[in-house]
């Protein structure tokens, strides 16, 4: 706990309420994301993981509550200060969400065009650097998303998320749709980039392997709130029914073994 108190908070969400019509999706949600950590964000399908991500990013309107990023309340800063914060953030949306009419290189350059003024030549060089950084071959740069495999699309989307050399990266189900080997490779890539680039990562995931392999802490969403947050052992020991079903199901037992789970609960 004392370690947590010492750490710099990059995202602080307090008492967040978000809804559509008369349906509330966030009902007073609190969340902290610490500098330099990989936070895995879990929750049942349709509980609001993507909505939370989009609300933090300012793409969905909140009803009430406070969202701070890099120490600034995002509702109380100027448009200019807000743009500077956006430059420090990279996003990989669910499904990759590349522009189908643009090549990989052009996709990676979208955030550059939005936020920077660079010569075409420099933008080409930077885009190629990002493309290589995520393990794509150089010739992928001129390809369109429809010409790429699922794994390559994910890598291209990650390259675009890293276009502005962000400090904070949002990944919404980055390994969904990949086979287990492709997902494990992508987890390795995220872990390597996170360490070498010193990133803070907010990662929505359903993938238990990813949680075990690369997340420092896990936060779980149910009924519009974060019901538990902490390192894996804390989550395993939680009595919450959803967490127990999630972390003590067949797949979890295969990954962790019954002994580890029994240990955690004791
Ligand atoms: N733009 C929208 N208008 C109305 N309802 C929405 C909108 N976006 C999301 N929702 C609803 O909010 C809930 C949470 O969705 P989402 O965040 O996508 O779930 P998930 O946890 O699977 O990412 C769902 O019930 C979804 O139907
Ligand atoms: Mg989602």
Tens digit of pLDDT for each residue in 2-27? 455 578 999 999 999 999 999 999 99
What is the β-pairing status of strands 72-73 and 64-69? Answer: antiparallel
pLDDT tier for residue 97 given thresholds of 50, 70 and 90: confident
Q: What is the mean pLDDT of residues 26-39?
A: 97
**Predicted model pTM:** 0.93
How many angstroms separate the CA atoms of 238 and 71, rounded?
30
pLDDT (0 to 100) of residue 96: 64
259 SS3 class:
helix
Contacts of 250 (CB under 8 A, 6+ apart): none
| Distance set, CA 77 to CA 66, 111, 249 (Å) | 13, 21, 45
Q: Cα–Cα distance between 187 and 195 in angstroms, integer?
A: 12
pLDDT in tens, 62-90: 999 999 999 999 999 999 999 999 999 99
Which residues are in the CB-under-5-Å shell of ion ligand 2?
49-50, 94
CB of 45 within 6 A of ligand 1: the answer is yes
As assigned by CATH, the class of the 1-88+167-230 domain is alpha beta
The confidence score (pLDDT) of residue 4 equals: 53
Closest residue to atom 5 of ligand 1, CA basis: 20
User: What rounded mean pLDDT belongs to the chain?
Assistant: 91
Domain ranges of the chain: 1-88+167-230, 103-166
């Amino acid at each position: 706990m004392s370690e947590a108190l010492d750490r710099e908070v990059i995202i602080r969400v307090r008492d967040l309420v978000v809804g559509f019509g008369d349906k509330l999706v966030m009902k007073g949600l609190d969340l902290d994301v610490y500098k330099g950590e990989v936070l895995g964000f879990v929750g049942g399908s349709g509980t609001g993981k993507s909505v939370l991500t989009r609300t933090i990013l300012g793409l969905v309107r909140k009803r009430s509550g406070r969202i701070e990023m890099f120490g600034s309340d995002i509702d109380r800063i100027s448009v200019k200060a807000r743009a500077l914060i956006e430059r420090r953030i990279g996003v990989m949306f669910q499904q990759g969400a590349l522009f189908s009419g643009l090549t990989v290189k052009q996709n990676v350059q979208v955030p550059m065009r939005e936020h920077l003024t660079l010569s075409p030549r420099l933008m080409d060089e930077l885009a190629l650097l990002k493309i290589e950084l995520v393990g794509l071959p150089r010739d992928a740069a001129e390809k369109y998303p429809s010409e790429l495999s699922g794994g390559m699309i994910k890598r291209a989307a990650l390259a675009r998320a890293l276009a502005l050399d962000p400090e904070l990266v949002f990944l919404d189900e980055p390994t969904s749709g990949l086979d287990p080997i492709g997902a494990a490779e992508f987890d390795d890539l995220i872990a390597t980039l996170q360490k070498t680039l010193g990133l803070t990562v907010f990662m929505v995931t359903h993938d238990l392997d990813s949680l075990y392999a690369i997340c420092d802490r896990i936060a779980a969403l149910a009924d519009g709130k974060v019901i538990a947050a902490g390192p894996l052992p804390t989550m395993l020991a939680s009595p919450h029914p959803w967490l127990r079903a999630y972390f003590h199901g067949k797949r979890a037992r295969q990954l962790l073994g019954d002994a580890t789970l029994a240990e955690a609960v004791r």
